[in-house]
Amino acid sequence: MPSRVEGKIALVMGGGQTPGETVGNGRATALLLAREGARVVVVDRDLGSAQATVGLITEERGEAFALAADATDEAAVSTVIAETVRRYGRLDILHNNIGASIALGDAVALDMTEAAYDRSFAVNLKTAWLAAKYAIPVMREHGGGSIVNISSLAAIQAYPLVGYRTMKAAVIALTENLAAAHAPDNIRVNTILPGLMNTPMAIENRVAQGTPREEVIAGRDKQIPLGKKMGTGWDVAYAALFLHSEEAGFITGISLRVDGGQWISHR
């Protein structure tokens, strides 16, 4: 079977990760796209983290390079797209993985500060819009492409923190808007809604707040019907690989839950 994204140019926004004991969604996706034949541009605000992802790719004889950028800054995002085109001549895949909740000061509505709300908007929603704004003209010029935005199951469940739920719900709306607008350009736009995942972003902040790691993991595992265990970054990565591949060539505007049955069991 030929590699599923062979020869594609892929840009993974948020392709590094916060430190932790497991692999994050962005890093896993960057690695998997490279394994399946894509040349990968790994972008992260932390250049060292992006370079670490690139190092893992090159160890496996894949091709990748790292860029540092503040994805909430329009000029920085424009530069990332321009540098990708300068190196490779086109862009086929955009993967928007940037997001955070607790680390941004997220809280229930009555306790959240204006500054934290603004940070949540910038990180969880604005980043996806900005990347698409500059990627879509390049994709259109070269005959099409695939965009996957990472939302969250929190967007459709009773997640208590207002910033993350609000912005990740808006990512779904953004996805549908872009999918409808750019279907005639042969640009597919989809979103993934991860459920409870054993990733550094999900686990490390809770541990840092004082809950023992084993308790955090056990409390999350027991909420998952399928195998009674959280998913991993690889589960999200394989869903993304499918959506970015030609196997999903007639799929656009969908919200794909990757949650081990959590939503259907607890709604």
Catalytic residues: 164
Tokens representing 79 are 């530069």
Burial class from Cβ neighbours inside 10 Å (0-12, 13-18, 19+) for residue 6 reads: exposed
The count of other CB atoms within 10 Å of the CB of residue 129 is 17
Token pair 């020869």 is at which residue?
A: 7
DSSP conformation class of 97: -
Q: Are 231 and 195 in contact (CB under 8 A)?
A: yes
Burial class from Cβ neighbours inside 10 Å (0-12, 13-18, 19+) for residue 1 reads: exposed
